[in-house]
Chains A and B, each alone.
Chain A
Amino acid sequence: QKEVEQDPGPLSVPEGAIVSLNCTYSNSAFQYFMWYRQYSRKGPELLMYTYSSGNKEDGRFTAQVDKSSKYISLFIRDSQPSDSATYLCAMRRTGNQFYFGTGTSLTVIP
């Protein structure tokens, strides 16, 4: 079983829709949770970072962590065509190793 599971999609939504992206994990030692956005042929860009259960909001993005269910989500409100990218979740225990999901490919249709 992989440490981090993420549905690869692809996910296609109309402009303005609310998008929900999810990851599950198996190791309860994970403490830090990140979401990255990666455009084609570019490096991942850090979108959201959180270390506790609950919600964290930044503009149109909300990161949600449920440690009891080992489940994290990223919500994108009022989605735009510029949000079309691959979204990677990542997590970390203590130490310097980060564990990535496989990424979800999102297309927002104008």
Chain B
Amino acid sequence: DTEVTQTPKHLVMGMTNKKSLKCEQHMGHRAMYWYKQKAKKPPELMFVYSYEKLSINESVPSRFSPECPNSSLLNLHLHALQPEDSALYLCASSQALAGISEQFFGPGTRLTVL
């Protein structure tokens, strides 16, 4: 099973709302990622968790708050977002750190901020 699942598929929120994106994988991967992708652009790395610890934060605004409750789950908490935050949010996973490891993506959550 090489599946990464994400919920919800679509999300529309106002600038004062609080919402969360969820990601799950059961491949035993110990590295999990959040990416943001705008139309016709490549994925842009936001956060990396390795062994449930935040290892990379690409200077993401604090209105995005990641959480890794366990090795299979990754959340992204959203609060006070701006319209320019509208994008496809992708979760991915890979085996951690050393050695050969492919990265597998979920289908994404399409976020619209009004």
B41–A96 CB distance below 8 A: no
Chain B interface size, as a band, is 20 to 34
Would you call A51 and B100 a contact (CB within 8 A)?
yes
The one of B40, B97, B103, B107 that contacts A34, using a Cβ cutoff of 8 Å: B103
Min CB–CB distance B105 → chain A (angstroms): 4
A-B CB contacts (within 8 Å), total count: 61
Beta-carbon contact of B90 and A88 below 8 Å: no
B residues in contact with A98, CB < 8 Å:
45, 103
Top 9 nearest A-B pairs by Cβ distance? A100-B42, A43-B105, A43-B107, A43-B108, A44-B105, A49-B102, A96-B31, A96-B48, A43-B106
20 residue pairs bridging A and B, Cβ less than 8 Å apart: A32-B100, A41-B110, A42-B107, A42-B108, A43-B105, A43-B108, A44-B43, A45-B105, A46-B104, A49-B102, A51-B100, A94-B98, A95-B97, A96-B56, A96-B94, A96-B96, A97-B45, A100-B42, A102-B41, A103-B42
Given contacts A44-B43, A101-B42, 14 further A-B contacts (CB under 8 A): A34-B102, A34-B103, A41-B108, A43-B4, A43-B90, A43-B105, A45-B105, A49-B102, A51-B100, A90-B103, A95-B97, A96-B94, A102-B41, A102-B42
